[in-house]
Each structure stands twice: as C-alpha cells, then as structure tokens.
Amino acid sequence: VITLLKKWRVLAEKNVFRTKWLSIRQETCEIHNGKIIDDYFIIEGGHVALVFALTPDKKVVLVRQYKHGIREIVLEIPAGGIHDDEAPEVGARRELLEETGYVADEFVLVATHIRSPSKSAILDYVYLAKDAYPTGATQFDEAENIEVELATLDELRKLLHAGEIRDLGGVAAIYQVLDYLDRLG
C-alpha cells in the first residue's frame, strides 16, 4: 500500500501514574503536520492471552465471573494478563488452567489484536487450545470467583447473537477462531 501518512516523533516522555496494575506515560510528540503536543497519554500494561479451548466432543470452555469495571457478571472465554517474564503461550496455558482446570497439548496462535491503538501498545494473543480436557482443580487469584460452563459451537454462536457474550476481547477472539475453524473445514 502506498501511503502519505506519517508517524509521530516522541520528543520527551515521563511516567505520570504508576500502580502494580496500571501505569500512565505522558509524551511530548511532534505530530504529522509538524505541530508539537505535550499532553499525549499512553496506558501501559502487560499483554493479554485469550483461550478458545475446544474439547474432543467440540464444546467450548466458558467462564462466568463478576467483573468490577463494568459491575456485571459476564460470560467470557478464559483470559488474563500475560506476566512480564512469560511467553504469550505460557501465559495462555496458565490462565486456562487457573480459571478452568483445563489443559491441552496443542495451542494454536490464531490472531493478535491491538487492544486500543490510540491509547496503548497492549496486545491480545488469541489461542485455540485443541482437545482440551479437565485436570481437576482450578487455581483462582484471590480476587477471582469463577464458574465454568461448556457450550457447543451452535450455542456459542447464539450467545454471541443474543449479546450474552459481549466483552470486546472475547467477541473478537471467538469470531476469529470460529472463522479459522470454518476455513479448516
């Protein structure tokens, strides 16, 4: 693609907010037209792993849990933050096990999504876990409280259409993997 678009140039940056979970960086930038702006804020945080775990009898592993940002109990696929010292697939395997007790031999990276291109460099890593099976105990974080459910692929599509699954990361991940499975045939 031929494009006349120009990237910005970062002239200065500083941390303006820092917690264990979330940090904010303020940047001074020269933008495309040469103008300088000094109040561009970028959200820093670890990347995210999402797992579409499919059992041998073609059921998808879902998790229902309370999420305090939206103040709702939501139905999602297993997902969580990748630790700084983890490869994305290692984080995906850990989150699947912790939240559901399921494991799988083969993890396929189906897509990576940019969570919020204007505000952050955080990526979602979308995995298909093939022939997933339960090993027993879940290992929740202290703030987690999760119920595990299984859905057929038809049920999963209905949950999407009805808005029962509507977290952005999960919706994009589920559609990507369904599309990938359709293309495999």
Binding site for a copy of itself (CB under 8 A): 1, 3-8, 16-17, 19-22, 24, 27, 29, 31-33, 35, 37, 39-43, 64-74, 76, 111-121, 124, 142-143, 145, 147, 160-161, 163, 166-169, 171-172, 175-176, 179, 183
Question: Of 101 and 133, which CB lies nearer to a copy of itself in the complex structure?
Answer: 101
The burial of 49, by beta-carbon neighbours within 10 Å (0-12 exposed, 13-18 middle, 19 or more buried), is given as buried
Relative to beta strand 123-130, strand 48-53 is parallel
Answer left, alpha or beta for residue 153, where phi above 0 means left and psi between -120 and 50 means alpha.
Answer: alpha
Question: Of 103 and 123, which CB lies nearer to a copy of itself in the complex structure?
Answer: 123
**Least separation, in Å, of the C-beta of 129 and a copy of itself?**
20
Q: Which two tokens stand for residue 172?
A: 């994009």
- To which residue do tokens 């029962």 refer? 164
**Least separation, in Å, of the C-beta of 88 and a copy of itself?**
15
Question: Of 116 and 131, which CB lies nearer to a copy of itself in the complex structure?
Answer: 116
For residue 169, what are the CA distances in angstroms to 31, 36, 46?
29, 33, 15
Residues 6+ apart with CB under 8 A from 7: 32
**Least separation, in Å, of the C-beta of 135 and a copy of itself?**
23
**Least separation, in Å, of the C-beta of 6 and a copy of itself?**
7
Question: Of 103 and 146, which CB lies nearer to a copy of itself in the complex structure?
Answer: 146
Q: Which two tokens stand for residue 67?
A: 């999420």
